[in-house]
Structure 1
Amino acid sequence: MYAYQGPQAYARISLESRVAGATPHQLIAMLFEGACGAIAHARIAFAQGNVARRGEMISKAINIVDNGLRAALDHQKGPTIAADLERLYDYISRLLMQANLHSSLDKLAQAEMLLRDLAEVWQAIAPHKQAGQP
């Protein structure tokens, strides 16, 4: 009667719970986490020679950057920083596309490094850190 759904079902429920209780700042952190995770999976696919999986994971990372991180930019509240981040996200998306198109681990690594640096800065400016909390 009940079909086994396995670990994926638990992971999905866990993610849904995290998203439901997250602050806007935490949601952006989750987007960085998701993009970096997709790139890590693409790197594994590179090593395994799995071109289809590599493309799927790079596409997922591009989608998160373009439809998550870029879409969340508030050009009204911070036009200068939003414009700078818009250009950086566009550059990261292009790096990811080139990494897939040209089978370039270097471009994939560069995109990942930029996203990890941004994620680190994002964590450093977390509201609870500004209030002096751990």
Structure 2
Amino acid sequence: MTTSQARAASAYASVNLDSRANSSGGVDLVILLIEGVLDRIKLAKLAIAQRDVMQKIKHLNKALEIIGDGLRAHLDVKSGGEIALNLDDLYSYCSVRLLHANSKNDVHALDEICNLLNPLLGAWITVRSGANGSADSAVQSLADVTRSLKSAVPSMQRLYGSSAYASHSARGV
């Protein structure tokens, strides 16, 4: 693929994602963002296996950007209650683990993030389908998943110490 073809493909992908996001509701956007993080992690793992440092950095930085500028930035912690607070903690934890994975080429940290985000993705898909069925049960599913994922915070505190977590969380990493 030539450079101009690569630019055109990139522009098309960007427009396609933007149009999908703009035509989607909030739940669909969250699903797209989580899928984007998971896709970037897959690409980063491939780059680590191929010892391609620049691609690894590019993909992990994009995953961090999606979490920080997409998922965390649009959380409404005031009206979102416990679910929003748990999601904020989870996204903060994932950001710290992405930074760790980037600095140490730690694919186990990337697998850990995927293991945390996949059930969350499933819960959001349930919420989306719950709009046609029982919205209460769909929201309860999301609440259950976020509560169970809350266990990631003590793990992070053990790995990085309470003060490191607090500084990352307060800065909105």
TM-score relative to the length of structure 2: 0.69
Q: CA deviation at 1:111?
A: 1.0
- Which structure dedicates a bigger proportion of its chain to helix? 2
2:119 pairs, out of 98, 117, 130, with 117
Q: CA deviation at 1:53?
A: 0.8
Tell me the SS of whatever aligns to 2:122.
helix
1:77 pairs, out of 76, 79, 83, with 79
Q: CA deviation digits over 1:78-129, x for unaligned, max 9?
A: 2222111111111111111111111111001111221222111111111x43
Matches within 5 A, 1:47-126: 47-126=49-128
Tell me the SS of whatever aligns to 1:119.
helix
Equivalent residue pairs, number: 130
Tell which deviates more after alignment, 108-117 or 9-18: 9-18
TM-score relative to the length of structure 1: 0.87
Q: CA deviation digits over 1:37-93, x for unaligned, max 9?
A: 111110110111001110111111111112211112111222222111111111111
Q: Which residue identity is paired with 1:132?
A: G
* Paired residues of 2:44 and 2:59 also in contact (CA < 8 A): yes
Q: 1: CA distance between counterparts of 2:87 and 2:56?
A: 26
Q: CA deviation at 1:130?
A: 3.7
Unmatched 5+ residue regions in structure 2?
Answer: 135-173
CA RMSD of aligned residues (A): 1.8
